[in-house]
Structure 1
Amino acid sequence: MSEKTDALILELAKELVGEDAADLLKYLLKKRSEITDEELAKELNVKPNEVRKKLYLLSEQGFVTSRKTKDKDSSLFIYYWRVNLDQINDVLLNRKRMILDKLKIRYEQEKDSLFYFCPQDNIKYNMDEALENEFKCPKCGSPLQYYESEKARQFLEQKIKQLEEEIEKETKRGKNNNN
């Protein structure tokens, strides 16, 4: 995986599981091999229970996976953990799809509505809100100005196209890897 992809994965992990668990994922991404929770705890100089909690959080979101074996001497189970690269790609792809849906909704709003904004507070209001407040900012009383949304629509169109292309390319790559 590239550094860019790793950075994206870590950013998503921070959002979903928090900074501490994301730091553990960062360590596992650098390690790129299986490791037990006990070894991880030793290497990171933290308690094994803390490591396990973070691993379980990461596992619930699909970032890591484990393999279970039984210790011959103690009959206890030993878990070997590693980054779940296949699942992470699916997580990232689903996140991109969610963002794409939100961008499309925003684009439709920009396309179908008139907006006004307050030059003082830089807050945008739709036509109904502007009319309701007699085209004055409800916060500071300044007259609202017409908001030209053409640039916003162009920007959204560009981002939508870019995301659609990324999703299509990654979906094809995923299908090719599964064949």
Structure 2
Amino acid sequence: MAFDGLLEDPVIQKYLHDLVGPRGMPVAAAPPDGEVTDEELSETLDLELNDVRRALFILYENDLAEYRRVRDEDSGWLTYLWTFHYENIPDNLEEEMFRLADALEQRLEYESEHQFYLCEGCSLRFEFEEAMEFGFECPECGTQLESMENTGMVEATEQRLAEIREELNIESEVEA
């Protein structure tokens, strides 16, 4: 399977980069057709073998690569033959978006249900109960804590959550 068109997508490039990091990106960005050994990839890409193996195992953990072991009958050494499965990327990205939607829902609930106080000097934020325990003074610098308006954060979270829900074609719990 050729992955050329898929790998030109900047979203997929960022996803792969976030998974394997800059040192593993040459491995992720150049998946060969068919099976390949980690040693072959290391040599072809002029990378350290450990960096290649790390990237391969991250791809494996994310269902984007698989391997089969072959034992050399003479030496007993195991050789790992790797195959890439980037056709799984769209499903992985969708799962990530569902996780992000869940996290945003939790954050929205937290931000909506709490009142916050801010130390403008230290930029520390406290829930009302914490602020009350500290006598509305910053425990770091002693500055008076100010009531913090988080409406902007709540609105931005709601907007981002609505965009993700629309993209995933799911209704919000409020609308359902």
TM-score, scaled relative to structure 2:
0.73
3-state SS of paired residue (2:143): coil
| Correspondent of 1:81 among 80, 83, 98 | 83
Structure 2 counterparts to residues 1-179 of structure 1, below 5 A: 1=6, 2-14=8-20, 18-28=21-31, 33-34=33-34, 36-37=36-37, 38-46=39-47, 51-52=52-53, 54-65=55-66, 79=81, 81-82=83-84, 84-168=85-169
Q: Which amino acid is 2:124 matched to? A: I
In structure 2, relative to structure 1, the CA distance for the partners of 1:120 and 1:36 (3 Å cut) is same
Quick check: 1:115–1:125 contact (8 Å CA) kept in 2? Answer: yes
The gaps in structure 1 that reach 5 residues or longer are 70-75, 170-179
TM-score, scaled relative to structure 1:
0.72
Mean alpha-carbon deviation: is it higher for 19-28 or for 119-128?
19-28
The structure richer in helix per residue is 1
User: How far apart are the structure 1 equivalents of 2:116 and 2:134?
Assistant: 13
User: How far apart are the structure 1 equivalents of 2:110 and 2:51?
Assistant: 45
Q: Which amino acid is 1:79 matched to? A: L
In structure 2, relative to structure 1, the CA distance for the partners of 1:124 and 1:23 (3 Å cut) is farther
Quick check: 1:21–1:57 contact (8 Å CA) kept in 2? Answer: no
- Counting aligned pairs with the same residue, the percent is 25
In structure 2, relative to structure 1, the CA distance for the partners of 1:50 and 1:115 (3 Å cut) is closer
Mean alpha-carbon deviation: is it higher for 46-55 or for 91-100?
46-55
User: How far apart are the structure 2 equivalents of 1:89 and 1:10?
Assistant: 12
Quick check: 2:118–2:148 contact (8 Å CA) kept in 1? Answer: yes
Quick check: 1:68–1:80 contact (8 Å CA) kept in 2? Answer: no
Quick check: 2:36–2:83 contact (8 Å CA) kept in 1? Answer: yes
User: What is the total number of aligned residue pairs between the two structures?
Assistant: 158
Alpha-carbon distance, 1:107 to partner: 0.6
Q: Which amino acid is 2:15 matched to? A: I
User: How far apart are the structure 2 equivalents of 1:26 and 1:155?
Assistant: 34
Please provide the CA RMSD for this pair.
Answer: 3.0
Mean alpha-carbon deviation: is it higher for 60-69 or for 104-113?
60-69
User: How far apart are the structure 2 equivalents of 1:167 and 1:114?
Assistant: 31
Q: Which amino acid is 2:18 matched to? A: L
